[in-house]
Amino acid sequence: MSGNPSLVLQKVNEITFEDLAVPKIEAPTDVIVEVKKTGICGSDIHYYAEGKIGSFELKKPMVLGHESSGVVHQVGDGVKHLKVGDRVAIEPGVPSRYSDAYKSGKYEIDPDMCFAATPSSDPNVPNPPGTLCKYFKSPEDFLYKLPDNVSLELGAMVEPLSVGVHGIRLANLSFGENVIVFGAGPVGLLTASAAKLFGAFNIMVVDVFDEKLQLAKEIGAANYTFNSKTGDVKDLIEAFDGIRPDIVLECTGAPPCIKMAVQAVRDGGRVVQIGNASGDVSFPIVEFSNRELTLHGSFRYGFGDYPTSIKILEKNYGSGKDKIQIDFEKLITNVFPWRDAIKAYDTVREGKGTVKCIIDGPE
Q: If the chain, 363 residues long, is cut into consecutive pieces of 10 residues, what is the mean pLDDT of each piece? A: 88 97 97 98 92 87 97 98 98 94 94 92 84 98 97 98 98 98 97 98 97 97 97 98 98 96 98 92 96 97 97 89 85 97 96 91 91
Sign of CA dihedral 144, 149, 154, 156: positive
Q: How much is the pLDDT for 1?
A: 42
Give the span between the Cα atoms of 137 and 155, in whole angstroms. Answer: 17
pLDDT attached to residue 306:
98
Strands 270-273 and 294-297: parallel
Q: How far is Cα of residue 177 from the mean position of the Cα atoms in its chain? A: 23
CATH 3.90.1170.50 corresponds to the domain 4-146: no
Phi-psi region of 255 (alpha: psi -120 to 50; beta: other; left: phi over 0): alpha
pLDDT in tens, 198-227: 999 999 999 999 999 999 999 999 999 999
- The correct CATH number of 161-297 out of 1.20.1270.30, 3.20.20.60, 3.40.50.720, 3.50.50.60 is 3.40.50.720
CA 294 to chain centre: 23
Question: Nearest CA to 185 among 158, 154, 206?
Answer: 206
Q: What is the pTM of this model?
A: 0.95
Q: How far apart are CA 252 and CA 280, in angstroms?
A: 14
Domain ranges of the chain: 4-146, 161-297
Angle between helix 186-197 and 158-171 (nearest 10): 60
Asked if 40 and 357 touch (Cβ cutoff 8 Å), the reply is: yes
Q: What is the pLDDT of residues 63-89, one digit of tens each?
A: 999 999 999 999 999 999 999 999 999
Is 144 in a helix, a strand, or coil?
strand
Gap between the Cα atoms of 173 and 223, Å rounded: 18
